[in-house]
A and B are shown apart, each in its own frame.
Chain A
């Protein structure tokens, strides 16, 4: 069975600090996708990134960067120079290849509440 662990329940930083959110996953599939979603106080989950299991290249998008390491089954997310607007709950998720005719399901971690203080 697949599993996603986000060990950090809450993190608090001061604005402009860098912060890394950890994500560790378990799966028996060789083909899978990893995701990060952001949930601001409004409640709607916002997609941030998708990574497939064959692409271990790290990615940078503005102040956001992601480090995918298959050897440690980790997909960590770093925010550089954090801002107050980054305050949200962040979820890491895993999806495996679906069975024929079915849908690709997401398994979520328990989330990390990030608070950025001014």
Chain B
């Protein structure tokens, strides 16, 4: 069963802490994505990566950074967590855009609370 696995389902962190959210996929997908999900706003793209060590900003990158050192792993980093980053974070992966099947596969989500 193909999978996108996020390291934590729930996290509670303090304001100002550096937070790492980890995501691993086992489908050999080229592309990986980080979204945040907030009520009434749907999913918004934070960052994505189309290759190892490559990254591009999404719609709401402020306050976040990412790292992709290996093809299967994509990390989201909150350099100094703030309460307005309390949210559900979803990781996804997808194959090369030229592939027949273009749909993204999502992880189970990490609900982050910053206090």
Contacts and interface: CB of A to CB of B under 8 A. Distances in A.
Interface of A: 4, 6, 9, 33, 35, 37, 42-47, 50, 91, 93, 95, 97-98, 101-111
Interface of B: 9, 30-31, 33, 35, 40-45, 48-51, 56, 58, 88, 90, 92, 94, 97, 101-109, 111
Given A42-B108, A50-B103, A102-B50, A108 B43 contact: yes
- Nearest 3 interchain pairs by C-beta: A103-B31, A45-B106, A43-B109
A63 to B, nearest CB: 20
A91 B103 contact: no
A-side binding surface: helix, strand, loop or mixed?
A: loop
A110 B39 CA distance: 8
Contacts of B104: 47, 106
Nearest to A98: B97
A87 B49 CA distance: 33
B30 A103 contact: yes
A103 B94 contact: yes
A43 B103 CA distance: 18
